[in-house]
Structure 1
Amino acid sequence: MTRPVFLLSLPRAGSTLLQRLLLMSGKCATLGEPSLLLRFLGDDEAMTRKATYWESLVETAAADMRKAWDGYDEAYRKGVRELMLGIYDGLAGGKEWFLDKTPRYTLIGEEILATFPDAKFIVLWRHPVAVASSVSSTFRKGRWCPDEFGIDLHEGQQRLQDFCEKHGDRVFQIKYEDLVTDPAAELTRLGAYLGWENLAAVLGEDLVTSTGGTLGDPTGVKRYNKISPDSRDAWKKELSNWYRRAWAREYVSGERARRMKLLGYELPDGIAHGGSLGLWAGIADWFEARRRISRRLRRPTWLPRFLKKFRKERGYEVSFR
């Protein structure tokens, strides 16, 4: 039976790069971002699902079953494990390992480990402000809107660090900054954890151009055919006005600043204590961020298009609960 490897990270942390490197080893199979465990695991306030049935009723029913039978959670996890192992085995095509790389698994790391106690876990870190910069430039065409990814930058970052502190002996931790600076050393360490010999040998080849599927990094797979440190510090230049630097200083403050420091992440002096004003660019960022958040709160942009298409194709209305 194929064994799963879970790669946990925030979005835009370099996980697709590491996924490509591991795929090139020939030891594993993978497929974009499988994401399926988000449907089966995650039973708390951080997980929000849109459905045409009442999701809250399902949650209530599950709570009733859990109360009525103390074997519910174990039976449920066993069912999810058997289902997913069968799927991983089919996707693996005879390979011993299947790599599941899905960024928002940061929210359900504890449940994944409880469901797959024999799995391997890789946690890839990147400076969270670099992540904020990258999601804005990649998914919002350079408009500074990291708050739209707040669930990742706040809850995801915190849960991932909690997960590593609790299960440090089970988890292999690697930093994106180290991976692109000294890839041979980092891949050698990772190979030892996985039991894959000579993993660093993949560095002599061009990176694969696709990990399959539709989901994943839309830019790096096109921009780089070799591992490169070029993007390691590029995010610092993106914090080019007062609004972006103020956002970064607020984010890296208090308890979060202390915990980030444990990972070796702090704000560079030019961001923490000054920098060019960028008055009008900052005002534009401030206005755009509030406009986008307000619009999304009033009515998500995807919803009208979906409802119109659904009504045209089916002939009746649908609503989400």
Structure 2
Amino acid sequence: MSVTPVFILSLPRSGSTLLQRLVSVHPGVSTKSEPWIALPVFFALKNSGLTSIYSHKTLATGVNKFVDSLPEGVDDYYACAARYLRDLYTRSTTDGAQYFVDKTPRYHLIVDELLAAFPDARFVFLWRNPLAIAASMIKTYGKGKWGLYMFTVDLYSGIESLTKAYTENKEKVLSVSYESLVTDADNEAARVLSYLDLEGGSNLSGGLKDADIMWGDRTGQFKYQNVSTDSVDSWKDVMSTPYRKAWGKDYLHWIGKDRLEVMGYDMDDLLADIHDTPTQYRYLLSDIVRAVYGKIYSRYCISDIKSNKPYQGGIYYPKN
């Protein structure tokens, strides 16, 4: 019997690994690391966004022409893609599990395709204070130094795609906040299990499961063996330089009140948090230098990818 996929949809550094580990404690739920396997399946239809030795743009043109020749067009492709992915999930699933959790943060790039291809799947949208996400990226990947230009696709396209998809499908999906998850882990995990029509779920946080995390973000796995609220306000220390505080204000205004409300946050409260955070100057010069470098990096990275040149310095992902 094939399993039902459960997709945890979030930005990187949103607590998806914690949620994955919590729900996988239940015997009815199986999971593996960050599979990533759905991205190439659906990106085969996109003619921009990455480069390859075989010319991805040419591949996408050929694939789309083939798909257009199918009796039901892209619907046939989605149906076959779903069967292929579901079969892989099933083969990877432990005995007795009804669900397989695929937690791959950059699925925000294909959220619409997943919703269309898997009408019977379960979708959990996990939100976190966007300032805390940015701070966690700086701390985890930049070791405290500015480098958010590497995550433009997540911080901008990701926010846009996820809030839009959630708004359009909120009757059949579940919303979970990171702050609620770390404050009341058992209750939030129980909400997810209830959404999956699974019984049980008490004291899940007392038996966190490693979930075969061989790949992907393992930071939380090593840092916390139990659920901790330490990370809720720790972003303030990271986002405390003049440049970072200014960036944070601009970023919140870009997201806007409406999208923040969809995510469960209030713009005025977050702006007040930035204002009340004591200013520090330790990384100010480094921030400015790296911000200038980031603009150059982003400009040439995006230019080369759009022109289909084999640029090796980074990857740009389009909004659609």
For normalisation by structure 2, the TM-score amounts to 0.86
Q: Which runs of 5+ in 2 are unaligned?
A: 305-310, 314-320
1:203 is matched by which residue type in structure 2? S
Q: How does 1:1-321 map to 2 (within 5 A)?
A: 1-42=2-43, 43-44=45-46, 48-69=49-70, 71-94=72-95, 95-205=97-207, 207-208=208-209, 210-254=210-254, 256-265=256-265, 266=267, 267-271=270-274, 273=275, 275-279=277-281, 281-295=283-297, 303=312
User: Higher Cα Rg: structure 1 or 2?
Assistant: 1
Secondary structure of the residue aligned to 2:192 is helix
Deviation of 1:50 after TM superposition, in Å, equals 2.6
Higher relative contact order (CA 8 A, sep 6+): 2
Query: What count of residue pairs does the alignment treat as equivalent?
Result: 299
Deviation of 1:231 after TM superposition, in Å, equals 0.8
2:8·2:101 contact (CA, 8 Å) conserved in 1? yes
Deviation string 1:230-274 (CA, Å, 9 cap, x unpaired) is 111111221111000011011011562432134332324141x36
Secondary structure of the residue aligned to 1:39 is helix
Quote the Cα distance in structure 2 between the aligned partners of 1:203 and 1:276. 34
Secondary structure of the residue aligned to 1:4 is strand
Deviation string 1:152-184 (CA, Å, 9 cap, x unpaired) is 111111111111111111101000001111223
1:62 is matched by which residue type in structure 2? V
2:46·2:60 contact (CA, 8 Å) conserved in 1? no
Deviation of 1:82 after TM superposition, in Å, equals 1.6
Secondary structure of the residue aligned to 2:24 is helix
2:176 is matched by which residue type in structure 1? I
Pair 1:223–1:274, CA change in 2 (3 A):
closer
Deviation of 1:133 after TM superposition, in Å, equals 0.8
Secondary structure of the residue aligned to 2:124 is strand
Quote the Cα distance in structure 1 between the aligned partners of 2:213 and 2:50. 22
Q: Which runs of 5+ in 1 are unaligned?
A: 305-321
For normalisation by structure 1, the TM-score amounts to 0.85
Quote the Cα distance in structure 2 between the aligned partners of 1:255 and 1:32. 30
State which drifts further: 164-173 or 90-99: 90-99
Secondary structure of the residue aligned to 1:41 is helix
Secondary structure of the residue aligned to 1:144 is coil
2:70·2:76 contact (CA, 8 Å) conserved in 1? no
Quote the Cα distance in structure 2 between the aligned partners of 1:200 and 1:41. 37
State which drifts further: 147-156 or 278-287: 278-287
Pair 1:279–1:204, CA change in 2 (3 A):
closer
* Residue aligning to 2:307: none
Deviation of 1:107 after TM superposition, in Å, equals 1.6
Deviation string 1:199-255 (CA, Å, 9 cap, x unpaired) is 1331232x22x3225322232111111111111111122111100001101101156
1:243·1:283 contact (CA, 8 Å) conserved in 2? no
1:4·1:97 contact (CA, 8 Å) conserved in 2? yes
Identity %: 32
